Amino acid sequence: MTKPLSTAPQFRRLALVAVTSCVGVTPPRTAFGSPTLPLQGRVATGRPLMTTAPQFRRLALIGVGLIGSSIARAARAQKLAGSIVATARSAKTRRRVMELGLADQVVDTNAAAVEGADLVIVCIPVGQCGAAAREIGPHLAPGAIVSDVGSVKAQVAHDMAPHLPANVHFVPAHPVAGTEYSGPDAGFAELFVGRWCILTPAQHADAVAVQRLSEFWSGLGAKVAIMSAAHHDLVLAITSHVPHLIAYTIVGTADDLSAVTRSEVLQYSAGGFRDFTRIAASDPTMWRDVFLANKTGVLEMLGRFNRDLAKLADAIEAADGDTLFELFTRTRTIRRGIVAIGQDSEAPDFGRPRPSLALAPLPRPYALENE
């Protein structure tokens, strides 16, 4: 096990120095003022740890959908847990988890899953987390680390913490990685590689538990950052929650149109709409819970979005091309920044494979491939 870090302030300062030397950039500063706090350099690189001994004796996964099953696959591949015990709400999913061989043991209840586990990760929709914590609370082993993967942090911590005994360490987490698919078949071991996992421990959280969990996520291939739950919810409101809401809206609006037929919407979807439909295919239960749980962050960001959208409508109305051009230039820079830091592919059309013509195309001396 790595050396425990004695106090919180020391822990934070170490992190910033390490990440600066590690990736050669200044620590990330969010648009909302307070910086994210990546952990030590080794953790922040996101390179999978090659461990010799499992970090945890027994890993319990409550919920084995996209995220839980990806954790199971990666933890097993990286030998991060001596054994894995899993459970899910329905017998059908539990049976599938067994068929896929995702866990050493599959049990019927959340309470049974956590018996003797030194790491428990709750991987279920955020609206269910409080009830799950109430079920597992009395059965947790002393000293266990309890975490989750919920896309909203303040509400989940508020719902779970009261049910957890004082002798366990609660360290909420959110891997910022996913797809529009759900269920145990949808997961894959590489899901977290190079993605951020944000930990939102309370101020008084045990530094060793935080460090152990961050090493676990690093072992899954993730880069780890620490921030407050409230700040996480504001950041994710604009980077994830509001974009999902917009996608759900625009796809719904298109479906409701009477002047444009549904078959036209489908047929001509490549003009931008197609990418919204991918996001709007995300799990309805999960996203309903996200919006209900992050009401404050989402409404704040949605307010800003609505004001900016109204300004754009005004610019179009006033034939103010400069305003449109200035914004579109700025947003193109953001897209290029996302590609530059490896958060997306620079391949055209988001890396989609291209169909080929029957005959070889003419060479293109007039433009680069990605222009």
Note the residues at the interface with ligand NAP (CB under 6 A): 62-68, 87-90, 93, 110, 123-126, 128, 132, 149-151, 174-175, 178, 182-183, 283, 286, 290
Cα–Cα–Cα angle for 315, 319, 325, nearest 5°?
Answer: 65
**Closer to ligand NAP at the Cβ: 68 or 201?**
68
Give min distance, CB of 277 to ligand NAP, in A. Answer: 16
Shortest distance, CB of residue 282 to ligand NAP, whole angstroms? Answer: 7
- Using the 8-state DSSP alphabet, how is residue 151 labeled? S
Nearer Cβ to ligand NAP, position 188 or 207?
188
User: CB 174 → ligand NAP: shortest distance, Å?
Assistant: 6
Least distance CB 103 / ligand NAP (angstroms): 12
Q: Annotate 9-29 with b (16+ C-beta within 10 A) or e (fewer).
A: eebeeebbebbeebbeeebee
Q: Which is nearer to ligand NAP, 88 or 205 (CB)?
A: 88
82, 51 contact by CB (below 8 A)? no
User: Is 174 in a helix, a strand, or coil?
Assistant: strand
Sign of the Cα pseudo-torsion (197, 203, 209, 211, in order): positive
CA nearest neighbour of 37 among 152, 170, 200 = 200
User: What is the residue type of 138?
Assistant: P
Minimum CB distance to ligand NAP, residue 362 (Å): 41
Amino acid at 121: I
Burial class (CB in 10 A: 0-12, 13-18, 19+), 231: buried
Q: In whole angstroms, how close is the CB of 262 to ligand NAP at the nearest point?
A: 27
Shortest spacing between CB 22 and ligand NAP, in angstroms? 24
Contact call for residues 135 and 110 (beta carbons, < 8 A): yes
Residues 247/237, Cβ–Cβ less than 8 Å: no
Radius of gyration, CA atoms only, the chain: 22
The token pair at 323 is 């305003």
Closest approach, Cβ 297 to ligand NAP, in A, equals: 14
Report the alpha-carbon distance of residue 145 to residue 151 in Å, rounded.
19
In the bound state with ligand NAP, the residue whose beta carbon lies nearer, of 11 and 127, is: 127
E strands within 123-236? 145-148, 169-170, 173-175, 196-199, 223-226
Q: How far is the CB of 335 from ligand NAP (least distance, A)?
A: 21
- Amino acid 254 reads A
Are 245 and 298 in contact, with CB atoms under 8 Å apart? yes
- Nearer to ligand NAP among residue 284 and residue 321 (C-beta): 284
Sheet containing strand 81-87, strands side by side: 105-106, 81-87, 56-62, 119-122, 145-148, 169-170
Nearest-approach distance from CB 193 to ligand NAP, in angstroms: 14
